[in-house]
Amino acid sequence: MAAGSQNDGGADIDLGSLFDDDSSMGTMVDNSLFAEPEIPHLPMLAAFGRFEILGRLARGGMAEVYLARDTSADGSTRHLVLKRVLPEMANDAEFKRLFLEEGQLAVRLYHSNVCHVYECGEIDGTAFLAMEWLYGPTLRALLRRAGPQQGVPAAVGAWMMAQTAAALEYVHHARGTDGKALNIVHRDVSPHNIMLSWDGVVKLLDFGIAKTTKSGSTAASGKLEGKSGYMSPEQARGLSLDARSDVFSLGICLYEVLTGRPLYKREGHVQTLTAIVEEPPPSARAANAQVPEELDAIVKKALAKRVEDRYQSAAEFETALNGWIAASGELASERRLALLLGSYFNAEDKAPLPKGSAKLTGTFSALTDGSAASGVLASFDHSPDPLPVVFDSSDEQPLVPSFPNLSPNALLAPPKIAPARRWSSLALGAGLFLLATGAGLAAAYFVFG
């Protein structure tokens, strides 16, 4: 991140770096314009190759994430995030291959609104990714705070989504080393994977389940991948995807930013996926009367069920959002987002490491205390929220990868809207089946429904 930024009049102001870079400034963090807390020199708790482990940020079912310090040959240092495969997964050759493929894909991406992956590889047989440290909360953490106030101001919300759309447009048109288009589809666009730095920068992260034209489609693999509440209709049905699927997912995020409430959260995966496939595009204005009609129309178009009726690219979505912001005359900038974050988060929230991050059990390679984590990537949404919770942390499920394989005919069949009586019988049968088979029910519904 550049050390300088611009105020609303265009003049340069020195914000400093909110996380370490390659300069000789060591671990200093600016403490000026927005009164960010100074980060002390954190002690090293363990070593992983050349990386100094400073604390654990999160732990998921397959990987764990640490704040680390890297010292270059010239003695300069920087903070970064180290994502490492869990020891119990280290011998799973297929998972390791997929993990490293994520890194090889992400390391190619350079954009101001995309979290950069510096390198990927293996140390002592353990696969890892070294990533840019995004010092700030997730969009989801902001929504949990802003939810009781019916979301964030419309102009700020639209601006954040326009920034994310710019990141998606870049990703969708990224090219490989051979110059050929990769045709990447992110597949997991959600508030969990949109980071907000304390100085107001928006970045998209986590390409763990992104696919390119070379890696195949969901229809070919027979698995649903992504967070169920943020899938597109075609993703929920297991069909082949293109960039317009990510547009739909970002449309869900826009709705939630403007209303402060989840759009497709239902009692279970079956109900959630059914709502995504069958329910008509919702009105954000109906949920929050403060949403302007023109912006509500943008939400509805992004959430169109038919891909042909949506914005046909992330760039088109971004243009619509920026056009509305300009026409509204509202202020939307990094500075305003930074001030908004400052109104919802205090100094304790801005601690660089969550509580309990130094709790390492045994050796570094034996972190198996089973502590819960919100996901595989770094998040500062780590403590009980004293405000009324609209976005409940119990709903945070990083992936839904465990559906049984489906036949191509079942995947390609259009969803059927069952009569009320048949739906009641199906719901009863679904409930019993859920007790017996768990997560596999979601996909089974689309086979038998």
33 or 320, which is more confident: 320
Structure tokens at 220: 């070919």
Q: Which range scores top for mean pLDDT: 53-67, 322-336, 406-420, 427-441?
A: 322-336
- CA 135 to mean position of chain CA atoms: 15
Say what the pLDDT of residue 254 is. Answer: 97
Say what the pLDDT of residue 179 is. Answer: 85
Instruction: Give the number of other CB atoms < 10 A from CB of residue 351.
Output: 15
Closest residue by Cα to residue 365 from 200, 144, 148, 123: 123
The b-or-e profile of 276-286 (16+ CB within 10 A means b, else e) is bbeeebbbbbe
- The yes-or-no answer on residue 188 being catalytic is yes
Average pLDDT over residues 323-351: 93
285 pLDDT band, cuts 50/70/90, is very high
The residues facing 63 across adjacent strands are: 85
Say what the pLDDT of residue 296 is. Answer: 97
Lowest-pLDDT range of 141-150, 171-180, 227-236, 439-448:
439-448
Question: In terms of pTM, does the model score above 0.75?
Answer: no
Q: Which tens digits make up the pLDDT trace of 240-255? A: 999 999 999 999 999 9
The residues facing 46 across adjacent strands are: 53
- By the 8 A CB rule, do 264 and 272 touch? yes
Say what the pLDDT of residue 360 is. Answer: 59
| Cα separations in angstroms, 314 against 226, 255, 317 | 19, 16, 5
Average pLDDT over residues 373-396: 37
Q: Is the pLDDT of residue 228 over 70?
A: yes
Say what the pLDDT of residue 208 is. Answer: 57
Q: Is the pLDDT of residue 140 over 80?
A: yes
394 pLDDT band, cuts 50/70/90, is very low
294 pLDDT band, cuts 50/70/90, is very high
Say what the pLDDT of residue 38 is. Answer: 56
Instruction: Give the number of other CB atoms < 10 A from CB of residue 8.
Output: 11
Average pLDDT over residues 335-342: 95
Q: Which tens digits make up the pLDDT trace of 7-21? A: 444 444 443 333 333
**What span, in angstroms and rounded, lies between the C-alpha atoms of 93 and 104?**
16
217 pLDDT band, cuts 50/70/90, is very low
| Cα separations in angstroms, 427 against 411, 416, 433 | 20, 14, 10
425 or 43, which is more confident: 43
Average pLDDT over residues 100-121: 88
Q: Is the pLDDT of residue 130 over 50?
A: yes
Say what the pLDDT of residue 192 is. Answer: 92
Handedness of CA 145, 150, 155, 158 (dihedral sign): positive
Say what the pLDDT of residue 284 is. Answer: 95
Lowest-pLDDT range of 137-141, 246-250, 418-422:
418-422
Say what the pLDDT of residue 359 is. Answer: 66
399 or 299, which is more confident: 299
Say what the pLDDT of residue 171 is. Answer: 93
Average pLDDT over residues 312-322: 98
225 pLDDT band, cuts 50/70/90, is low
- By the 8 A CB rule, do 219 and 411 touch? yes
Q: Which domains does the chain have, with CATH numbers?
A: 8-135+350-394 (3.30.200.20), 139-340 (1.10.510.10), 408-448 (no CATH)
42 pLDDT band, cuts 50/70/90, is confident
Say what the pLDDT of residue 11 is. Answer: 45
345 pLDDT band, cuts 50/70/90, is very high
- Percentage of the chain beyond pLDDT 70 is 67
Quote the longest CA-to-CA distance of the chain: 72
Say what the pLDDT of residue 335 is. Answer: 95
**What span, in angstroms and rounded, lies between the C-alpha atoms of 70 and 43?**
13
Structure tokens at 20: 């370490």
**What span, in angstroms and rounded, lies between the C-alpha atoms of 258 and 153?**
7
216 or 21, which is more confident: 216
Average pLDDT over residues 45-54: 91
**What span, in angstroms and rounded, lies between the C-alpha atoms of 41 and 45?**
12
Average pLDDT over residues 188-203: 94
Lowest-pLDDT range of 272-286, 342-356, 399-413:
399-413
Single out the catalytic residue among 8, 70, 92, 188.
Answer: 188
Average pLDDT over residues 107-123: 90
Average pLDDT over all residues of the chain: 74
84 or 296, which is more confident: 296
Average pLDDT over residues 211-240: 70
Say what the pLDDT of residue 210 is. Answer: 59
**What span, in angstroms and rounded, lies between the C-alpha atoms of 164 and 337?**
14
Which residue type is seen at 81?
V
Instruction: Give the number of other CB atoms < 10 A from CB of residue 50.
Output: 12
